[in-house]
Amino acid sequence: MTDNRPLTQPEGQVLAALDPSVYADSVSDHAAWAASRLQAPLELVHVIERRHGAAAGTNLSGSLSLGAQEHLLQELADLDEQRGRVDQQRGRLLLDQARERVRQGFGLVAQGRQRQGSLVDTLLELESGVRLFVLGKRGEQADFASGHLGSNLERVVRAVHRPVLVASRAFQAPARFLVAFDGSATTRRCIEMVCASPLLRGLGCDVLTVGESGGEAGTAMDWALATLREAGFAPEAVFQAGAADAVIADVARSRGSDLIVMGAYGHSRIRNLILGSTTTQVLRSCQLPVLLLR
């Protein structure tokens, strides 16, 4: 079936989702770099999500007398309100600092927006005006020793329909990128999207196929190289056997890549149930930023 979706979103802004994690500066820098390359407006968004265990969900039935319950519930409600004010103030400071950072570092004037609710719902609501989302790999509550992704990241990547740039812990302006390519319709579309967008134009380029170089894989690689050359890139082909996630990370490191480009998750229910996909494993293990296309 022919995919008639446009390869790129020609209009719209770069939207960076910020939280008070160690990724905040890197997300701001990656988003500003992308906005500069795309000549697109930049917006910084901070979403205050409802805390678990808030006063409204507290169940005190049978544990305290009626008067004590009412008094404690009021105290909990007051505490919840105070925490809400603190969260809003912290969010405003976060956005102000990020706006100043991109102004000084990239000469950009970014808009700031603070919302309350679910991050996924907020980004879906704003998606129609977005060209590229930028998020950190892990959020404020991440356990870095676990190797787990931030819970919001995987939900966002599975839900949205725009490309997502997943920022690494520290920013470095990319000079070379690696495209993970297996000849499928999804990865062919990734090649076409790279060619259609100014985001990576002028950067060094490697195309990696995990496996042997002959047969259909070789034919597909020839197509990818020719398509990229026609768009002005000077790609180099790499074939390497092994487990896909490990090979992608190893080749990116050995080739001096600053960015990995690969296909994002599908939206079907069946694919959403699959754990341990190559996309997830690369996001978990690789220390480079990853551009997810679909």
Q: Do the domains spanning 13-170 and 174-294 agree at the CATH topology level?
A: yes
User: What are the C-alpha distances in Å from 85 to residues 122, 181, 265, 287?
Assistant: 20, 48, 37, 35
Greater pLDDT, 85 or 28? 28
Closest CA to 203 of 236, 227, 226: 236
pLDDT, average across residues 212-225 = 93
What is the dihedral sign for C-alpha 141, 147, 152, 153?
Answer: positive
User: What are the C-alpha distances in Å from 10 to residues 13, 156, 197, 202?
Assistant: 10, 22, 8, 19
| Model confidence at 1: pLDDT above 80 | no
Q: Please write the tens of the pLDDT for every residue from 50-93.
A: 754 444 455 555 555 666 677 677 777 767 767 767 778 889 99
Secondary structure (DSSP) of 246-270: HHHHHHHHHTT-SEEEEE----SHH
Q: Where are the domains of the chain?
A: 13-170, 174-294
Average pLDDT score, the chain: 85
The interaxial angle of helices 215-230 and 185-196, nearest 10 deg, is 20
Nearest-angstrom CA–CA distance, 274 and 282: 15
pLDDT, average across residues 126-137 = 95
State the CATH class of domain 174-294: alpha beta
CB atoms within 10 A of CB 51: 12
Return the amino acid letter for 127. E
| Model confidence at 274: pLDDT above 50 | no
For 13-170, which CATH superfamily applies? Answer: HUPs (3.40.50.620)
Q: How many CA atoms lie within 13 A of 204 on its CB side?
A: 13
